[in-house]
């Protein structure tokens, strides 16, 4: 599997819709996507990080080990990623 473009990603208004860009340049060239699709795609790096953190915590808990981060920190991480995916900042 290839590595994705490092986040954070931003939504940018394009001629006929929206596109995604990162600090290193464009992530997509589909300038005709909807705002909702652009927001969801833009949140992909944060959603992946939040899912990985949640999985790590659950996996450690199931094995009887101490979680890697506290529940409040994890909940805030998940909340922020979901909010961004829904079009928030």
What are 33-47's pLDDT values in tens digits? 888 888 998 899 999
- 3-class SS at 89? coil
Residue labelled with tokens 């790590």: 56
Is the separation of the CB atoms in 21 and 12 below 8 Å?
yes
Looking at the predicted structure, is the pLDDT value of residue 7 above 70? yes
State yes or no: pLDDT of 76 exceeds 90.
yes
The predicted model scores a pTM of 0.78
Per-residue pLDDT of 45-58, as tens digits, reads 999 999 999 999 99
What is the mean predicted confidence (pLDDT) over 73-80? 93
The two beta strands, 9-14 and 17-22, are antiparallel
**Domains of the chain by residue range:** 1-42, 44-84
């Amino acid at each position: 599997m290839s590595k994705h473009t490092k986040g954070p990603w931003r939504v940018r208004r394009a001629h006929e819709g929206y596109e995604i860009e990162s600090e290193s340049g464009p992530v997509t060239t589909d300038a005709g996507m909807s705002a909702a699709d652009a927001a969801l795609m833009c949140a992909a790096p944060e959603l992946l990080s939040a899912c990985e953190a949640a999985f790590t915590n659950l996996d450690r808990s199931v094995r009887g080990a101490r979680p890697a981060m506290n529940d409040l920190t994890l909940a805030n991480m998940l909340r922020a990623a979901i909010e961004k995916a829904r079009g928030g900042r």
